[in-house]
Amino acid sequence: MHIDTMRRIDHWAGIPLTFLLTLVLTLRDRLRRPAARTPHNVLCIELSEMGSTILAEPAMRKLRDRLGCELSFAIFRKNRPSLDILANIPADNIFTLREHALLPLLADTLRFLAWTRRQGIDTVIDLELFSRFTALLAGASGAVNRVGFDNFHGEGLYRGGLLTHRVLYNPHLHIAKNFVSLVNALLPGQNTLPAARMQVGDEEIRLPLRASSPEELAVVRQCIHARAPFYNPDRHRLVLINPNASELLPQRRWMPERYVELIRRIIAEHDELLVLVTGAPGERQEAETMCARTGSDRCINFAGALSLEQLPALYTLALLMVTNDSGPGHFAAVTRMPTFVLFGPETPALYGPLGNTTPIFAGLACSPCVSAANHRKTPCVDNKCLQAITVDQVFALVRPLLTASPA
């Protein structure tokens, strides 16, 4: 389904359904309140964005290490590969929902309700920002503990009273810290109103690095060689360009012609530099067009060449990456590779990757224009916030790494 269709369904169907389910649960609790349970089998729900799955890793790690919980995860099927990068959830504990059409989504929702009961889920953490659909999933899951963000006295964003642990979403705090606050609500003495009134330090949101095996690195080198037969890993250094951004917010895309000019400058800097244009399989044609416009055989179309699980090995081999504000910027955070991320409709202060990242942000008065309060929907059709970022600015930031001697 198109993202706008999903938003309309979430609004027009979600409001009455969350209201009705709230009445049902309130009546049930008055007749027979479920006994309190210490969290053990915890389900995290983060459906819509792969980057947010990476940002939730510190929260999941705290659930496992501090509370000793068994973890499960619910996610849209198309975003399932992001969990392979983290490799922290057993495959049997992952539930996927098809989002491409309404009927399959409804069928998977019914399967979900049966699955949570078979799994013995006692706690649900809703990581989505004010989604009514995920609130319904949490409320109907059968879990005794239901944790999520609450708007309290804010206008709009109604999604019923389905939470047992209501955490105030802090729009001035990085989203990874907000996610950790959801976990803190489950700690002894923290189910206050609002819940989790405690500090989340920077050290709590550092990602563990993922080491790639020699075999994984060799496979990636073979993939590069298949597309660039002249590639010599002993001579060539790799620069990655990721010009894509999801359809959830296409305003995050820097202009293709600027990427073309940036690639030309990078290639001209040193003759041992190869530029790989990355992306999803469906973006091969756009990547091919971009490579052709550079006029150089050292710009390689690498869109769809690897699975998401193979990306950390590519990032381990690469010198750096320049990317729009999208999933790959977050995927790279599990490696040491320097990443330069262009921000516009969103702010790096809240959504910046947790790795070796340099955010590039013009900081216009209208930016950021999307937030939890507007379901990340903007009326903007002319992204001046990204047009304000010049090729000169980006090249000046990456050039010191291009000219540095190889380690």
Instruction: Encode pLDDT of 357-366 as tens digits.
Output: 999 999 999 9
Q: pLDDT digit string (tens) for 45-89?
A: 999 889 999 999 999 999 999 999 999 999 999 999 999 999 999
**Percent of the chain residues past pLDDT 90, beyond the cut:** 80
* Amino acid at position 242, single letter: N
CATH 3.40.50.2000, applies to 3-205: yes
**Structure tokens, 73:** 């995860």
Instruction: Check whether 156 has a pLDDT greater than 80.
Output: no
- Nearest residue to 54 (alpha-carbon basis) of 96, 91, 83: 83
- Nearest residue to 334 (alpha-carbon basis) of 58, 140, 40: 58
Phi, psi torsion values for 161, nearest 5 degrees: -115, 55
What's residue 246's pLDDT? 62
CB atoms near residue 312 (< 10 Å): 24
Phi, psi torsion values for 194, nearest 5 degrees: -75, 165
3-state secondary structure of 65: helix
Instruction: Check whether 406 has a pLDDT greater than 60.
Output: no
What's residue 248's pLDDT? 64
DSSP type of residue 33: P
Mean local confidence (pLDDT), 1-25: 90
What's residue 374's pLDDT? 76
Residue labelled with tokens 């291009």:
402
CATH 3.90.1330.10, applies to 214-401: no
Instruction: Check whether 20 has a pLDDT greater than 90.
Output: yes
d(CA 338, CA 198): 32
What's residue 66's pLDDT? 93
Higher pLDDT, 156 or 270: 270
Q: pLDDT digit string (tens) for 232-258?
A: 999 999 999 999 866 667 788 999 999
Mean local confidence (pLDDT), 166-192: 94
d(CA 120, CA 132): 23
What's residue 407's pLDDT? 52
Instruction: Check whether 395 has a pLDDT greater than 70.
Output: yes
> HSE on the CB side for 186, CA within 13 Å?
29
What's residue 113's pLDDT? 97
> Residues 328-344, buried b or exposed e (16+ Cβ, 10 A)?
bbbbbbbbebbbbbbbb
The interaxial angle of helices 256-269 and 284-294, nearest 10 deg, is 50
- Residue ranges per structural domain of the chain: 3-205, 214-401
pLDDT band at 137 (very low <50, low <70, confident <90, very high): very high
Residue labelled with tokens 């503990």:
145
d(CA 309, CA 64): 22
What's residue 207's pLDDT? 95
- Nearest residue to 313 (alpha-carbon basis) of 224, 207, 406: 224
Q: Which of 13-17, 141-145, 258-262, 368-372 has the lowest mean pLDDT?
A: 368-372
What's residue 37's pLDDT? 81
3-state secondary structure of 377: coil
- Nearest residue to 371 (alpha-carbon basis) of 149, 59, 188: 149
Highest mean pLDDT pick, 2-6, 11-15, 112-116, 151-155: 112-116
